[in-house]
Amino acid sequence: MNPDDVELSNLDKPFFPDAGLSKGDVIAHYRKVADQMVPHLTGRPLTMRRYPDGIGGGGFFQKDASDHFPDWVRVEEVPQRQGGTIHHVVCDDAATLVYLANQATIEFHIWLSTMDALEHPDRLVIDIDPPQGVPVRVLRDVARRLASLYREVGLTPYVQATGGRGFHVAAPLDRSADYEETRELSLALADHVAARDPDLLTTAQRKNKRGDRIFLDVNRNAYGQTFVAPYTLRARPTAGVATPLTWDELSRTEPDGFTPARIARRRKKDPWQDMDDHAASVSKARKALAD
DNA sequence: GGAATAT
DNA sequence: ATATTCCAACGCCTA
DNA sequence: TAGGCG
Ligand SMILES: [Mn+2]
Ligand SMILES: [Mn+2]
């Protein structure tokens, strides 16, 4: 399917009233970022977050592909951990991305593993989740501390602004490890950084144990879990875009600093493009961390 | 956004 | 004919 | 073993 032949509807419907974006603007965003975004979606089970009446109307997550999706949209059977099957969309091309945007999918959330090795993640992600009011320079510093530790244990760190309030520090993996081993490594990395600054950072899930501390969320590193895909537009009033950054750009970028307009102006190759050339071993990283 | 179901 | 409803779920921690 | 959490 040619992405420019996908039938579109209600292009003038307001979707982000504060940011002044219409449904057509959302679709145009995804059309423009497709070349950079699709490689990050390819082969991965996708969860859609759809807002048919804009972000002011109710939204919903959707895993099971709708029956009315056309047959050129790839749908794969994905087993659930405790029995059952989800018929996930796998977005391997620009036409599907545009089609799903016209279905009012604003956010795209993806697995950390691909269809050919569902049990073996090729990404490790630590999600930096601040409470309100933490200065961005502190968040950047936390991202850099994580990155430094990643490098020490042989992982290559990549950062993205989430489009919301925080950053993700991700690393490519060689898929030799399963989710359990990967999650354990991610927790050990986060705990290692948090232990050096226990008044600022925590890995505790429960809100009443966090206080005002920044939550280092490692729970994305599990089967059936997702993280927000690069170049996803967030369904928030500021219309931030999840944006892969160079480590240099991090110093001058807010978590929600990229809007669709600013992304369209940015003429930069995808900072995460060469990620898969740096896939690393979880077991080697675990051994390195133990020293 | 669109199909299925209830009124 | 029109209105309402549905559209997610893993694993870890605490209680 | 159910519920919070993202
Ligand atoms: Mn987050
Ligand atoms: Mn509607």
Q: What is the DSSP string of A113-158?
A: S-GGGTTS-SEEEEEEEPPTT--HHHHHHHHHHHHHHHHHTT---E
Question: Which chain C nucleotides are covered by protein, judged by CB under 7 A?
Answer: 7-14
When computed from its CA atoms, the radius of gyration of chain A, rounded to whole angstroms, is 19
* A281 C-beta less than 7 Å away from strand D: no
> Does residue A38 share a domain with residue A86?
yes
CB A260 within 8 A of CB A155: no
pLDDT higher than 80, residue A142:
yes
> Does residue A284 share a domain with residue A186?
yes
**φ, ψ of residue A40 in degrees (nearest 5):** -80, -20
> Does residue A204 share a domain with residue A136?
yes
> Does residue A217 share a domain with residue A139?
yes
* Cα end-to-end distance, chain A, whole Å: 52
Residue A27 lies in a domain: yes
Q: Report CA-CA distances (Å) from A245 to A162, A220, A237, A290.
A: 10, 20, 22, 30
Question: Which chain B nucleotides are covered by protein, judged by CB under 7 A?
Answer: 1-4
| Least distant ligand from the CA of A58 | 2
| Least distant ligand from the CA of A160 | 1
How many Å from the CA of A262 to C1' of C3? Answer: 41
Of the candidates A3, A48, A19, A64, the residue with the CA atom closest to the CA atom of residue A236? A19
Residue A3 lies in a domain: no
CB A25 within 8 A of CB A15: yes
Q: How many structural domains are present in chain A?
A: 2
> How many whole angstroms from A91 Cα to the centroid of ligand 1?
23
- ipTM for the complex shown: 0.85
How many Å from the CA of A133 to C1' of B7? Answer: 49
> Does residue A90 share a domain with residue A107?
yes
Residue A243 lies in a domain: no
How many Å from the CA of A47 to C1' of C4? Answer: 25
Which nucleotide C1' is nearest A23 CA?
A: B1
Torsional sign, CA A38, A240, A19, A57: positive
Residue A1 lies in a domain: no
Domain that holds residue A171: 123-222+277-290
Query: What's the CATH number where A82 sits?
Result: 3.90.920.10
CB-CB neighbours of A180 under 10 Å: 12
User: Which residue(s) pair with A102 in the sheet?
Assistant: none
pLDDT band at A194 (very low <50, low <70, confident <90, very high): very high
> Does residue A190 share a domain with residue A147?
yes
Residue A164: strand, helix, or coil: coil
Q: What is the pTM of this model?
A: 0.97
A103-114 mean pLDDT:
95
Give Cβ neighbours of residue A215 (< 8 Å, ≥ 6 apart).
A128, A129, A130, A131, A202, A203, A204
> How many whole angstroms from A57 Cα to the centroid of ligand 2?
9
A88-116 mean pLDDT:
95
* A217 C-beta less than 7 Å away from strand D: yes
> How many whole angstroms from A51 Cα to the centroid of ligand 2?
9
Residue A37 lies in a domain: yes
> Does residue A192 share a domain with residue A61?
no
> Does residue A146 share a domain with residue A81?
no
> Does residue A227 share a domain with residue A110?
yes
> Does residue A204 share a domain with residue A281?
yes
CB A129 within 8 A of CB A168: no
> Does residue A215 share a domain with residue A134?
yes
Which nucleotide C1' is nearest A225 CA?
A: C10
Which nucleotide C1' is nearest A66 CA?
A: C7
Query: What's residue A75's pLDDT?
Result: 94
Residue A267 lies in a domain: no
- Return the structure tokens found at A273: 């493009």
> Does residue A97 share a domain with residue A35?
yes
Segment A58-96, tens digit of pLDDT? 888 999 899 899 999 999 999 888 778 889 999 999 999
- Return the structure tokens found at A49: 């977050």
Segment A238-267, tens digit of pLDDT? 999 999 999 999 999 999 999 999 999 998
Residue A172: strand, helix, or coil: strand
Give Cβ neighbours of residue A127 (< 8 Å, ≥ 6 apart).
A162, A166, A168, A216, A217, A218, A220, A227
Query: What is chain A's mean pLDDT, rounded?
Result: 94
pLDDT band at A103 (very low <50, low <70, confident <90, very high): very high
